[in-house]
Structure formats: structure tokens, C-alpha cells
Structure 1
Amino acid sequence: MKLTIKKKTNINKLLRKATFISIVILMIVVLVASNEITHYKVAITAQPLNGCLSTDSLPCTDTSKKTISEPFIPDTKLNKQQRFLSAIARKLPTVPQPGTYEYILLRNYGAVFVNQDVGIKLPQKDIFANEQETQEFQGSLTMGHVDGTKDCYLQKSAADALNKARVQQQIPLKSGYGSGDCTRTFNTNLRFWHKYANNQVLAKVQQGKETKVLGLVAPPGTSQHLWGLAIDLRVSNKEQRKALNQNGWFQTVQNDVPHWTYVGLSEEILPLFGFKKQVVQGFTYWITPL
């Protein structure tokens, strides 16, 4: 009787052991299969973008999910314009076509769309229609305070980079105090436009007949200041410029001397993204190649 009970106990142990081994094997099979599926999905997600970059024509729209966090480097086989467009195609759902008002704006104010800083947020288009659209976008931003100011705020990454530059050198705001130099409301942008231009000039800009004014003031709803990625500064020497450049800040709007844009790239890499160096009256601008 005792022997029979012992045999049953051994059999139960063996059964439990066999069940445990089967469960482990099943888990391994599931994990391997899951891992293969994940890699397959990643390969599919990356494929449309690779296709955009390999073409000799203008880059196509990237319809894949924008989850890529690694820094993007343009294909050096492309020309300057194509390299620039391949970078902004990752940021804009649809790249404006040549000859359109949106394309004119992109040419003048589109430098920020190559920014690789994962901490910033870019708009999905280069024109806000009204104050409500502007506020909705600005309400989604993570903002940072510019040290030594009362009410100057930028997107946090931009503010942090500017604060580092201002630790290296004293760099005052254009006005010396405030919000008009930093992130602006739609109505502030509109007020500045009416100070220097009018609706007739706007109509000419929209047709591409008057673009010099864009180096003086941005049309309503189009200013980089609305995106929290631009600031007006009083820069008077090379040391100040060097400190700003070292922290990703550049002059990108030709003839707008006090205007600085947070591009987030080093000066050495700007040509790789298609930017053209333009020196005008002693001021160095990095211009988009559009």
C-alpha cells in the first residue's frame, strides 16, 4: 500500500514537472513570435520614409507614423533643396508646393522645420487662421522662462538653449523687457503687420509679387514667434553671436536683424540640411534653399 502511494506521488511530480516545462516552452514560442512581429512592423514603418529620401525628385509626403526619435541626416546625394525638403517632410504632413503662398512662407520662415530637438513641438502648417487656432497650439506647448526677464517665454528647449547662451554672454532682448520679443499672440502678430503693411500688401505677398516686406514683418498668423521658437535680441558683437550659434540659435530671416530662430543644429551641420550662408551688411544669415 505504501509503495503504491509512493508511485502515485512520483507520477504526480513528473506530471507537474512536464506541465511546467510545457508552459515555459509555450512562453518562449510566444515571445519569439511577438518579437518577430514587432521587428516586421518597424521595418514597414521605416520603408515609406526611405522611399522618400532615395528619390531624385522632390521628397514625397511621409505618411508613416512619426515616432522616429533618432537624429535625421539628409542624403548627401540630394541637392540642397531636396535635402532641406527631405528634412521638413518629416515634420509637416504636407509640404507646400512651389508657387503657393504657403511655399513663400516656408522659404522665409521654414528654417525651424528642420529642428531635430525632440523636446519642441512644431505646427502642422505654416499659417494660423486666427487667435483661436494660435491659442490651441500654444496651449499644447511646454514653455520655459527666459532668465532675467519678466514675461518672456519660449518653448522650453528653446528657452533652455537661450539661457545657456546668455550665461556665456550678456544678450539683452530688443525691447529690453518683454513678451513682444518672445512668444506672441495672433493679435500681436496682426498689430505688428498693420504697423508696417496693410491688406493690399498682403494680397501681393500671397501672389508672390511682394516678398521684401517678409524681412521686416511676418503676415498675420505666420510668425515664428507664434510657435515659441523665435526671439528679438540686441546683438552687437561676435562673442554674443558665437554663444547663440553654439546653442542652436541663428538669424534665418534675411534683413530682419534682431530676429533669431531656434534651429537647434550646430553651424557646421547647417549646410548639410541645405542652408545657404548669406552675409548682408556684416550680418550672417542662414537662408533656406527654396
Structure 2
Amino acid sequence: MPPKKLFRNKSLLSVCLFLLGGGWLSLGFPGPAKESAATVSPSNPTIAPAPEATDNTAITTRDRSLFEQNLPSGFPLPEASDWVAQRLLKEHGAVFVAQDSVVHMPSVIFAHAEDCAHWQAQVSTRREKIGNIPVELQTEAMKALLAARQEAAQKNLRITPRGTWAARRSYRDTEKIWSRRVLPGLAHWQQRGKLSAQEAARIRGLETSSQIKEILLLEAQGLYFSKHFSKSVLSSASPPGASQHIAMLALDINEHSQPTVRAILARHGWFQTVISDLPHFTYLGTTQERLPALGLKKTVKHDRVYWTPA
């Protein structure tokens, strides 16, 4: 039987994505040629607050969620049509309400490597060598990490980075990690007869924003791109330009399976904020008791606590 071709039936295909925590977004999808490009929020390469919202995009405080009210002043919320950025903010956006004088990324996703590099160059950071691995984080995040490591050492425990990409990542780094999920996934689903060779090649050749959208649309059909093809790629990787590691407020650690280590990190403002990304911790710069007031909700999964936008 020939491989199934996804997204070719103009008249019948309607894609439903679970995007906003309990809400399903239905997308009328006339075909990849017309709907291949994702709408990505424009990035701002400076640290200065974004311009005031125009009349067309302004949202009153009453209409905003508690999480949205705690976003940095002038932070540009994704347009209603930009469901990719909306989903990223919903699933990976806890970092945008981090406290303790940290510097936030100016948008949900950087569209260009140059803008990303320019922004990173302006942020105050601190570098340390931990376990022979260079680690670079925003200054306040590094101070908190070192304090957590000191507390752990007093209990004969360790907190160490998980590889050379454990902390700061460039835009190019996030491209490489994304490709490590997408390319094997396309090959896997082609071998399983769920994608034609032509369709897989087309998606491989797309520019970044269009490819992100296509991959998430495939996942809406049950073709997942995680390492074992069993869940969303967003459970273990971010699209290029959208990683918390770009903000230098995230760290992957080796000892993530130890409850005592997770508790120590939490006492120093480090929390898990991406559900099912087991090694990944985010510096939020405040106490666990304060997180609900920032618009974050607690999710317990397999005895781990995650904090994500409510």
C-alpha cells in the first residue's frame, strides 16, 4: 500500500491542536503550499522595553490572565493568528515572569540569529567552570546556582551540568538541537509509511518558521518528534530561537532524578517549568510560595513538580 500523504486533501483537512491548556484551536488548512509559513513574533534585539501596544493589539488588564499581567512591561503578546508563539508561551513561558532583576527575552521567539546574538551580548552574565564544563548564566541565576551547589555539598550531594549545552545556547545551538529531533522524526515516519518521501523532503527543505509550523501540525495528527516518537518535540526541545537557554536562565543537570537535589534547587529559585523535560531547570528567582501569584500553576507528574503558565 503506498505511503499516506498528509496535508494534501484541500477539501477535508481540518487540524486541531491542543494549544492553550484545555482549549483546542481548530485550524482550517487548505494545503501546505498556502499554509506552510508560521507567523513568528518579530524579535527586538535590544534590552529596552518593547513599544506600547497599538489600539489594534491592546488588551486591558481586566482581559489579561494573571500570568499575562505579570509579564514584563511592554512584552508583545503573540497575535491571535500566531498559534505557534501562543503555544510556546503557554508551554515554555514561565521564564518570562522570572524575578530577581533578571533580563527577559524581548519576545517569545527570535526570528533571526543576528538579533539573538545582539541581545545576548547586552545581558550581564557570569561564567564558571563546573565539573570541567564551562557554564554561563545571567549573573543572578549563577549566584543562585552556586549557593544551591554549596548547600548540596554540605549534604554530600552534587549539582552538575549535563553536557556542554547545559546552560547558555546560541541561536545556532538551538537549530542543531531542533534538527536532531526533526530529521530522525521525518525518517521514522517515512519508514512507517505515514509520510511520503516527497513530503518528508519538502519539510526538510523549509525555512525555520515554516518548518516549526509543519512539525507541530504533524504532531497534531499523532506523528510525534520526541526522541522516542511518543510525545511532542516540545517536551524535550524548543524551536530555534525560542529556548529558555537563550535567555541564560535555564540549566540541564545530571542529578535531576534526586528529590533532595530538586528541593535544594527550588529553595534557591530554580524550578522545573517544561513538563516532561526531566533534566531542565529554570531560574525564576523567587520562592515556590510566590509562583501562583505570578500566574503559574503547579503540575505534579511522576512525583515531580512543574510550574507552567496557568
Query: TM-score higher than 0.5 here?
Result: yes
Partners of 2:96 and 2:259 in 1: how far apart?
Answer: 26
Deviations 1:232-265 (A, max 9, x none): 0122322211110011110000111001111112
Q: Verify the 8 A CA contact 2:91 2:309 in the aligned structure 1.
A: yes
Which blocks of at least 5 consecutive residues in structure 2 are unaligned? 1-57, 153-157, 184-202, 205-210, 225-230
Q: How many residues align?
A: 210
Q: 1:109 to 1:281 in 2, by over 3 A?
A: same
Q: Does 1:84 align with 2:67?
A: yes
Q: How far apart are residue 230 of structure 1 and its match?
A: 0.5
Say which of 162, 169, 174 aligns to 1:174: 162
Q: Which residue of 2 aligns with 1:144?
A: 126
Asked if residue 165 in structure 1 is aligned to residue 153 in structure 2, the reply is no
Deviates more, 1:195-204 or 1:246-255: 195-204
Q: Which runs of 4+ in 1 moved over 4 A?
A: 52-55, 198-201, 205-208
Shift of 1:116: 2.2
Q: Which residue of 1 aligns with 2:111?
A: 129
Q: Distance in 2 between matches of 1:92 and 1:258?
A: 31
Match of 2:309 in 1: 288
What are the equivalent positions in structure 2 for 1:242-253 lying under 5 Å apart? 242-253=263-274
- Partners of 2:176 and 2:75 in 1: how far apart? 29
Contact 2:92–2:308 (CA under 8 A) maintained in structure 1: no
Superposition pairs of residues 46-195 of structure 1, within 5 angstroms: 55-58=61-64, 82-88=65-71, 90-98=72-80, 100-118=83-101, 120-146=102-128, 148=130, 149-169=132-152, 170-175=158-163, 178=164, 180-195=165-180
Higher strand share: 2
Q: Please state if 1:217 is matched with 2:237.
A: yes
Distance 1:213 1:92, change over 3 A: farther
Moved more, 180-189 or 140-149: 140-149
Q: 1:93 to 1:55 in 2, by over 3 A?
A: closer
**TM-superposition CA deviations, 1:25-69 (whole Å, max 9, x none):** xxxxxxxxxxxxxxxxxxxxxxxxxxx9984322xxxxxxxxxxx
Report the 3-state secondary structure (helix = DSSP H, G, I; strand = E; otherwise coil) of the residue aligned with 1:158: helix
2:210 equivalent to 1:228: no
Whole-Å separation in 1 of the counterparts to 2:97 and 2:239? 21
1:109 CA drift (Å): 1.6
Structure 1: segments with no counterpart, 5+ residues:
1-51, 59-81
Report the CA distance between 1:206 and its aligned residue: 5.8
Q: TM-score w.r.t. structure 1 length?
A: 0.66
Using the aligned pairs only, state the percent identity.
29
Instruction: Report SS of the residue matched to 1:154.
Output: strand
Larger Rg: 1
Is contact 2:249-2:283 (8 Å) kept? yes
What is the TM-score normalised by the length of structure 2? 0.62
AA matched with 1:237: Q
Q: 1:205 to 1:276 in 2, by over 3 A?
A: farther
Q: In structure 1, how many angstroms separate the alpha carbons of the residues matched to 2:213 and 2:169?
A: 23
> 1 or 2, which has the higher helix percentage?
1
Question: What secondary structure is seen at the aligned counterpart in 1 of 2:66?
Answer: helix
